[in-house]
Amino acid sequence: MSFQDLEAKIREKRAIVGVIGLGYVGLPLIRAFIKAGYATLGFDIDPVKIQRLKAGQSYIGHIPSQWIAEWLASGKFQATHDMGRLCEPDAILICVPTPLNESRDPDLQYIEQTTIAISKALRRDQLVVLESTTYPGTTREVMLPVLEGTGLKVGKDFFLAFSPEREDPGNPDFSAERIPKVVGGIEPQSTRLATALYGNAVVKVVEVTSAEVAEACKILENTYRAVNIAMINELKVLFQRLGIDVWEVVEAAKTKPFGFQPFYPGPGLGGHCIPIDPFYLSWLARRQGMPTRFIELAGEVNTSMPEYVVQRLAEALNEHRKPIKGSKICVLGVAYKKDVDDPRESPSFELLQRLLAKGAEVSYNDPHIPTLPKMRHYRVPAMTSQELTPEFLAAQDCVLIATDHSAYDYDFIVRHAPLIVDTRNATKRVQSHREKIWKA
């Protein structure tokens, strides 16, 4: 087979698409390619995930089990943890985590391990695309040497590109196939093949001149958000001291039809991108002997928000002649954003840990996360979501709203809880008992 044969196979949808990492990015990507008419093969090292998928069961809230069952019934989807089968797909898309280590430097172990696994099965005329967010240069400097260590050459024997994932979990307006994809190859033929592949599955493909540009694009998108969220978080603290409601200010400012995009404050950053990706860029800048003061400052502001929330909670309790120590505090929402079951990097874990350290009797409720998962950076005991009965709410000294899920009846919560600390402006439409509500 030749480059032309692989391109024809992709364009005619005869290619098999493999996706490594069947999480919040990988499964929606599988869906996009199945809808486009491709056969898919999903890889994950977690045998429990594979077992559930083979049984037609989903483990992600916004991916219904019905979809999985339909994929299996159509014959367009298989799931496996056998990395030896990586020789089967014609295109391999990598959607693995890229966290930070303890010193907040890039942790590329999952990309490195995945690349080694691919190299052991790599054959001629395969397209490999990295989607995991990372610093500019990763695809060329980290992946390419390992893949070419097989003796195969990029652009001749196999093809390599980067196309950053763009997922907004829980947002039905932006499913994977409806989001434009940026594509940059290691060399022109890799770009051409990746463009052909994604062009059949998503609404639009944006070609850029290199993998490095595509990698930098994703970092820019998330750094832009992190910096602007930091600005509004800092203004929140200032406006609170001035007796001004920051949410009302934002609502007024966004009526301007040009030159302004609204960002909203919160208890800290969450999710798999915004709290992490800017530090990839600042790490790369340090390697080049250049400080990224703007990014570092934004990171400091955003990471200080949980401490500010706990401080505001202490002030609220103090008005009721109570300390944090010994107080019963229920945290509402441990997902990183509303209406999803994704707890990655959620500031709620930092809040729980800080409150526990101060001696609070802590509980939580989240309709999307019934059991508190273990998180690699936090030491929080095992908990289960508590039912929000009138008796439970009345027994709390304070209810802390950390995630503004739509499922919550905020009138009910405010009516029965003695004190509310609201970090999301979730109670803005509550009319009665507003004297109980503290903004944070």
In terms of pLDDT, which residue wins out, 347 or 171?
A: 347
Query: In percent, how much of the chain has pLDDT > 90?
Result: 81
Residue-level pLDDT at 348:
96
Residue-level pLDDT at 197:
97
Q: Which residue has the tokens 């004297």?
A: 435
- My answer on whether 201 and 265 are in the same domain is no
- Of the residues 217, 273, 330, 398, only one is catalytic, namely 273
- My answer on whether 65 and 199 are in the same domain is yes
Q: Is it the case that residue 119 has pLDDT exceeding 90?
A: yes
pLDDT class of 121 with cuts at 50, 70, 90: very high
Cα–Cα separations (whole angstroms), residue 342 to 16, 57, 121, 239, 244:
29, 17, 32, 31, 32
Give the pair of three-digit tokens for residue 330: 């229920």
- My answer on whether 52 and 84 are in the same domain is yes
- My answer on whether 323 and 357 are in the same domain is yes
Let me know if residue 84 belongs to a domain. Answer: yes
Q: Is it the case that residue 356 has pLDDT exceeding 90?
A: yes
Residue-level pLDDT at 105:
75
pLDDT class of 345 with cuts at 50, 70, 90: confident
Give a three-class secondary structure readout of the chain. Answer: CCHHHHHHHHHCCCCEEEEECCCCCHHHHHHHHHHHCCEEEEECCCHHHHHHHHCCCCCCCCCCHHHHHHHHHHCCEEEECCHHHHHCCCEEEECCCCCECCCCCECCHHHHHHHHHHHHHCCCCCEEEECCCCCCCHHHHHHHHHHHCCCCCECCCEEEEECCCCCCCCCHHHCHHHCCEEEEECCHHHHHHHHHHHHCCCCCEEECCCHHHHHHHHHHHHHHHHHHHHHHHHHHHHHHHHCCCHHHHHHHHCCCCCCCCCCCCCCCCCCCCCCCHHHHHHHHHHHCCCCCHHHHHHHHHHHCHHHHHHHHHHHHHHHCCCCCCCCEEEEECCCCCCCCCCCCCCHHHHHHHHHHHCCCEEEEECCCCCECCCCCCCCCCCCECCCCCHHHHHHCCEEEECCCCCCCCHHHHHHHCCCEEECCCCCCCCCCCHHHEEEC
Domain boundary among 160, 184, 208: 208
Helical pair 293-303 and 305-319, crossing angle rounded to 10 deg = 30
**Average of per-residue pLDDT across 78-82:** 96
| Count of structural domains, the chain | 3
- pTM for the structure as a whole: 0.90
Q: Is it the case that residue 149 has pLDDT exceeding 90?
A: yes
pLDDT class of 154 with cuts at 50, 70, 90: very high
Domain boundary among 189, 208, 227: 208
- Judged by average pLDDT, the poorest of 21-25, 49-53, 224-228, 284-288 is 284-288
- My answer on whether 386 and 432 are in the same domain is yes
**Average of per-residue pLDDT across 259-270:** 92
Over the chain, what is the mean pLDDT? 93
- My answer on whether 199 and 251 are in the same domain is no
Q: Is it the case that residue 35 has pLDDT exceeding 80?
A: yes
**Average of per-residue pLDDT across 398-411:** 97
Domain boundary among 241, 266, 301: 301
- My answer on whether 290 and 432 are in the same domain is no
Let me know if residue 128 belongs to a domain. Answer: yes
Give the other-Cβ count within 10 Å of 26's Cβ. Answer: 25
- Judged by average pLDDT, the poorest of 4-8, 317-321, 342-346, 390-394 is 342-346
CATH of residue 345: 3.40.50.720
Let me know if residue 228 belongs to a domain. Answer: yes
Q: Give residue 293's domain range.
A: 219-301
Beta-strand relationship, 398-401 and 420-422: parallel
- CB neighbour list of residue 153: distance below 8 Å, 6 or more residues apart: none
- My answer on whether 172 and 291 are in the same domain is no
Give the pair of three-digit tokens for residue 20: 């490594």
pLDDT class of 272 with cuts at 50, 70, 90: low
Tens-digit pLDDT profile for residues 290-338: 888 888 888 889 999 999 999 999 999 999 999 999 999 999 999 999 9
Q: How far apart are CA 147 and CA 127, in angstroms?
A: 11
Torsion angle in degrees (nearest 10) through CA of 201, 203, 204, 210: -40
Let me know if residue 214 belongs to a domain. Answer: no
- My answer on whether 289 and 435 are in the same domain is no
Q: How far apart are the first and last CA of the chain?
A: 61
- My answer on whether 325 and 295 are in the same domain is no
Q: Is it the case that residue 1 has pLDDT exceeding 70?
A: no
Let me know if residue 103 belongs to a domain. Answer: yes
Q: Is it the case that residue 247 has pLDDT exceeding 80?
A: yes
Residue-level pLDDT at 280:
80
Let me know if residue 350 belongs to a domain. Answer: yes
- My answer on whether 82 and 24 are in the same domain is yes
In terms of pLDDT, which residue wins out, 172 or 33?
A: 33
CATH of residue 286: 1.10.1040.10
Q: Is it the case that residue 432 has pLDDT exceeding 70?
A: yes
Q: Is it the case that residue 120 has pLDDT exceeding 80?
A: yes
Give the other-Cβ count within 10 Å of 322's Cβ. Answer: 17
In terms of pLDDT, which residue wins out, 377 or 237?
A: 237
Let me know if residue 213 belongs to a domain. Answer: no
Let me know if residue 247 belongs to a domain. Answer: yes
Active site residue 273: yes
pLDDT class of 373 with cuts at 50, 70, 90: confident
Residue-level pLDDT at 207:
98
Residue-level pLDDT at 175:
75
- Judged by average pLDDT, the poorest of 115-119, 131-135, 191-195 is 131-135
- My answer on whether 186 and 235 are in the same domain is no
Q: How far apart are CA 290 and CA 282, in angstroms?
A: 9
Give the CA angle between residues 62, 67, 68 to the nearest 5°. 105
